[in-house]
Chain A
């Protein structure tokens, strides 16, 4: 039999249930993979021993038939999720050695369903970045790299790389402007950002509260459905979490899509779009069409303004969310002469360059005299972007776009580093979805000429992940992408 880490969660569960494999064997296989692949720098904290002992508990549960939805499935957890008793840093120096005394709702849901945690995954500092290069613990290396180490994407680079390299069965991730979808595309794995409000944000270190949303990164579409069903749900501890029923997403898999209206937004095909990506986009549309879907041209006229609006709103919220890192109650403290100096020393040393850049921009756009011109304006544009989607969804049921305008680039790429805006532009296809609070999935469509994975994005109506799963299932089969 091939390596146990090749199995999807669905496959593993069926073998676990039939007692063909045991949770300890499965966990050991992943721990082995994990230890063989430290070069990817995907994990920042390991809890393998705990996972192995939890696997023994899981065995007992299978033995006495009290196994739960994800019993014995070894997962990786993005370091943005607070995990009780396990160091959680958001990959920032400022949260040095912070050990939460509480568990995030999403990880608690996974634990309650029997999942095991192998450790905490690398990410961009406070989830701010698109290449995982802002992590205090260094960049994640894309497992698809050949000679030059490539970025795994960000901010959930550790999650995507770990899943691609089979260092965990699946991973939790978060998405504020594309942080689940872009690394999924770069690493050839599947990730879904559900509708804003589906997953509780309680216990997830906040970046931009009105945009942040948790979701899974998995080996395939079915695993995403499984994991999202466990992660999602109303939580009274998060006032923005939705009370809407969570359907069984896996029931959508395999349903036919005859007559499904797939929207192709003209604004996502600018003149300079990478022709390889454009042709994969056409191929994806053709796959859906061949399954009976109807392809419809749509317009999302304010697309151009999504990035500027995002880079006002997200830093503004971040500047406020990150004010609590002041060296008083937890994390790094750098002494100073008096309290203000202590704040300044702590924050200046504790935050990395990109985080500081965003805090400064965010502080500026909220400051007296500039609020209306920047923040309020951006919130109004945000409304128009949401209206664009509302109008589009009058004509179509789902929207198909590429996930990223580029393929994975080299770590330390000078063009990206010399001007932060160049890096921000990589989010061009993903941020609108966060601004409108919609669900969207990225799944691999094929390899570029450089043998690097490329992803396609399916965007659904709010709270209609079902349609995404339905279409993704067919797209996945049609693309027939071969995992690493």
Chain B
């Protein structure tokens, strides 16, 4: 499945990355090289094979419903690039 420039642009936006116009061709060709390579997987017969979701066969453990965290807003905000009144601040989000 060859990927075109438009797809590269769309994928980049989904990932919130910018691919500069002049790098678009290179990125696209590199993308296709890697995809062609991983498409070797198509040679494998996987009929009736269950995907491996979890290598560890132990069951998921559940946590007791207890309050064990919180009231650490100072630590939570410690590394924030911008904060005011205890909130994280970002450029205005247009709904």
Contacts and interface: CB of A to CB of B under 8 A. Distances in A.
Tell whether any CB of A sits under 8 Å from a CB of B in the complex: yes
Interface of A: 97-99, 101, 196-197, 210, 236, 239-240, 242-244, 302, 304-305, 308-309, 311-312, 319, 323, 326-333, 335-340, 342-345, 347-348, 351, 356-357, 359-361, 363-365, 367, 370, 373-374, 376-384, 386, 419-421, 435-437, 462
B44 interface: yes
Contacts of B40: 304-305, 308
B60 interface: yes
B51 A330 contact: no
Nearest to A356: B17
Binding site of A, secondary structure by majority: helix, strand, loop or mixed? helix
Contacts of A101: 72, 75-76, 78
A196 B91 contact: no
A310 to B, nearest CB: 9
Contacts of A374: 38, 41
A236 B61 contact: yes
B52 A386 contact: yes
B38 A367 contact: no
A312 B49 contact: no
9 contacts: A210-B55, A312-B41, A338-B94, A344-B18, A348-B18, A360-B15, A370-B1, A421-B34, A437-B56
B49 A380 contact: yes
Q: Which 3 interchain pairs have the tightest Cβ spacing? A: A437-B55, A379-B51, A330-B79
B86 interface: no
Contacts of A379: 51-53
B90 A328 contact: yes
B16 interface: yes
Q: Which of B34, B51, B63 has the most CB of A within 10 A?
A: B34
Contact of B56 (A197, A329, A336, A340): A197
Contacts of A367: 11, 14
B80 interface: yes
